[in-house]
Amino acid sequence: MDSINIKKLAKELNLSTSTISRAFRGSSDINKATKERVLSAAYELNYEPNHYASNLREQKSNTIAVIVPEIANNFFSQAINGIERVAREKGYHILIYLTYDDFEKEISFINNLHSGRVDGIIMSVSGEANNHDYLNKLKKKKIPLVFFDRVYEDIDTAKVTSNDYESSFSATEHLINNGCKNIAYLVVNKSHSIGKMRMRGYTDALAAHQISYRDDLIIDCSNDLEQTQEILKQVFNDLKPDGIFASVERLAIATYQVCQDQNIRIPEDIKIISFSSLEIAALLNPSLSTITQPALEMGIEAAKLLFKAINSGDEQMVTDQVVCKSQIIGRKSSASK
Amino acid sequence: MDSINIKKLAKELNLSTSTISRAFRGSSDINKATKERVLSAAYELNYEPNHYASNLREQKSNTIAVIVPEIANNFFSQAINGIERVAREKGYHILIYLTYDDFEKEISFINNLHSGRVDGIIMSVSGEANNHDYLNKLKKKKIPLVFFDRVYEDIDTAKVTSNDYESSFSATEHLINNGCKNIAYLVVNKSHSIGKMRMRGYTDALAAHQISYRDDLIIDCSNDLEQTQEILKQVFNDLKPDGIFASVERLAIATYQVCQDQNIRIPEDIKIISFSSLEIAALLNPSLSTITQPALEMGIEAAKLLFKAINSGDEQMVTDQVVCKSQIIGRKSSASK
DNA sequence: CTGTTAGCGCATTCAG
DNA sequence: CTGAATGCGCTAACAG
């Protein structure tokens, strides 16, 4: 009734729909005067080309999907920030999907995106120990995929990671150098590529310093804060570790809380270092030593790779592997004496 | 060539396209056996209905837009979490737009969304002191709009806010009761509805306690951390306030940093309370007293209102006003003695 | 229960 | 430089 579309606008101006279309598409084949007439009339009448119609026609959505485990998380929200920056510059829209580490959700999101809804996907994965065939379908549909941070190693596609092995090695070494002998490694899900990689850095650093690896010091925590606290309480009482290497920020926080609760002093009784994107690590009590991934930069890199793939057409698959360097910042939580 | 669509699938199965469509739409008018035949063939051939085509046909996108100033921010990322939860349940997709507090961007995003790209919009606004006509166009296009946290009071639409006036009043009173006499109010943009409302709570609390209002204690900070730190350094030196009421989290953090740098003791020399969604406020040094908005809940409420509007059809505009209660938690940063 | 038909709004041939 | 005609992939009457 009162909704405007290309036809009505054309009728209004005594032009054809193709001319309207040309005016909007910045086509060269149009008189400058008519173009302006069209655009100003469009503005008056509040007309905007319908995205879905043009997407359908052009087989291109100008939209990308970002799939992450969670968004209320410093690392991911900063990474999304980076992705957004690049995407917006290119005039792309961003769909957000949260898996909450649920592999089934990941599959369902991906399956939903086959249908041409997006021109590309950036994902931090959730189901390491599973069959990843559903991802191969994307290739068939020529929808580019870029992994960041958490990746599937068996899928051959572009990846942006950080130098997790090296920084884990150094972080562990840092604890050892500061006097720790019984270092617990806290992890949420051992099967994640990230968790494995970081753990390897940990174990290799132990070996390099002639400290024997103890299986009981690998602590499998939970995504649930309270459960994790229970687990840690147990560990601190039973095993009395003198060092903690937290493979994700959330576990460092749980450690702080448990220590506060149990009157365990950091760093006197126990030293801690953690992967973390917390901007205020320095303001914690005590200030937290961190391994900080360049989250924003990783987002930017991932987006750049995705657009490279999108723009490369179908000619060649983009499978670049970008590794960003994390920064280790020693603070009070791991200080000796 | 190798791309599948409804027609090819139909031909493959010796059915008509409408039958295929019915199989996918869960229509009742279809034989169970054929439905299964269709679905399994679709699975084999990797067919998924094209969203853009069906959106075009149905004039419905199953997509909502979320426009926020930033995402690397605890409040907004938690709110988005809430929105996502509701939207996903309804099978909706979420487009994210970040304004970085740039009013021009806000306008441009909104103008871009007129074209039927989304069924509704949830927004936390950025341009209080401006003309908001561009939003009225949405009404004409029957695209529902829900504000949350930061709202335009001159736009008549659904809104989700928190009880900012009351909690600001109480927070200020809390500082006064703990001995503060010169309380500075830190704000980023005085013209924002939020900033104004919170400031009113502050001034009224002063008045209620016979403390005279001082214009120089209203500190207009910046979104840029370093600038803010400079401003605060100046203020702390010149005015020597004994209390700080930070209207947003970022300003409390800047305060901590400046105090650390300048050897100003919290809470001995200066007490501080802040609006904050930081989950680890208790772990800061010293633990930070906070006014915590129920970010997740606000997101959920906003999404619920939006879907109420979307489902109400054009019959009646939804203009519900939901006010969520914030929680004031006194910690060491504002303790007396 | 299934097929036929028409058209959602737009972009692009192809003529002129 | 502009217009007429066609179809992107799908859904929803309407028949049967």
Q: Compute CA B241 distance to the chain's CA centroid, rounded to the nearest angstrom.
A: 31
Does residue A48 contact residue A103 with C-beta atoms inside 8 Å? no
Q: How do residues B298-334 score in pLDDT, each as one tens digit?
A: 999 999 999 999 988 666 688 899 999 999 999 999 9
Does residue B193 contact residue B151 with C-beta atoms inside 8 Å? yes
Please, what is the angle between helix A193-208 and helix A164-177, to 10°?
Answer: 40
Instruction: Give the minimum alpha-carbon distance from A206 to chain B in angstroms, rounded to a whole number.
Output: 30
Looking at chain A from residue 20 to 59, which residues have their Cβ under 8 Å from any Cβ of chain B?
A: 46, 48-53, 55-56
Q: How many CA atoms within 13 Å lie on the side-chain side of B324?
A: 20
- pTM score: 0.93
Domain boundaries, chain A: 6-57, 62-156+295-324, 164-294+328-334
The residue assigned the tokens 């009173």 is B173
Q: B284 CB contacts (<8 Å, ≥6 apart)? A: A280, A283, A284, A285, B256, B278, B333
Which pLDDT band, with edges at 50, 70 and 90, does B206 fall under?
Answer: very high
Give SS3 for B79: helix
Specify the pLDDT at position A2: 55
Residue B70 clears pLDDT 50, i.e. is over it: yes
User: CA A330 to CA A128: how far, in whole Å?
Assistant: 31
Specify the pLDDT at position A199: 96
Which pLDDT band, with edges at 50, 70 and 90, does B36 fall under?
Answer: confident
Interface touch A95/B98, C-beta < 8 Å: no
User: Is A62-156+295-324 in the same CATH topology as A6-57?
Assistant: no
DSSP state of B72: S
Which amino acid does the sequence have at B305?
L
Decide which of 3.30.70.100, 1.10.3720.10, 3.40.50.2300, 3.50.50.60 is the CATH code for A62-156+295-324.
3.40.50.2300
| Separation in Å: D3 C1' and A36 CA | 19
| Separation in Å: D11 C1' and A308 CA | 36
Residue B230 clears pLDDT 80, i.e. is over it: yes
Query: Which nt sits closest to B32, CA to C1'?
Result: C1
In order along its 337 residues, chain A shows pLDDT tens digits of 457 788 888 888 888 888 888 888 876 577 888 888 888 888 888 888 899 999 999 888 999 999 999 999 999 999 999 999 999 999 999 999 999 999 999 999 998 898 889 999 999 999 888 899 899 888 888 899 999 999 999 999 999 999 999 999 999 999 999 999 999 999 998 888 888 999 999 999 999 999 999 999 999 999 899 999 999 999 999 999 999 999 999 999 999 999 999 999 999 999 999 999 999 999 999 999 999 999 999 999 999 999 999 988 766 688 899 999 999 999 999 998 7
| Separation in Å: D3 C1' and A45 CA | 23
Question: What strands lie across the sheet with B145-148, from one edge to the other?
Answer: A321-324, A158-162, A145-148, A120-123, A63-68, A93-98, B93-98, B63-68, B120-123, B145-148, B158-162, B321-324
Specify the pLDDT at position B28: 60
Specify the pLDDT at position A6: 86
Specify the pLDDT at position A43: 86
Residue B2 clears pLDDT 60, i.e. is over it: no
Does residue B12 contact residue B27 with C-beta atoms inside 8 Å? no
The architecture (CATH level 2) of B6-57 comes to: Orthogonal Bundle (1.10)
Partner A contacted by B112 (CB < 8 A):
yes
User: CA A116 to CA A91: how far, in whole Å?
Assistant: 18
Superfamily of domain B164-294+328-334: Response regulator (3.40.50.2300)
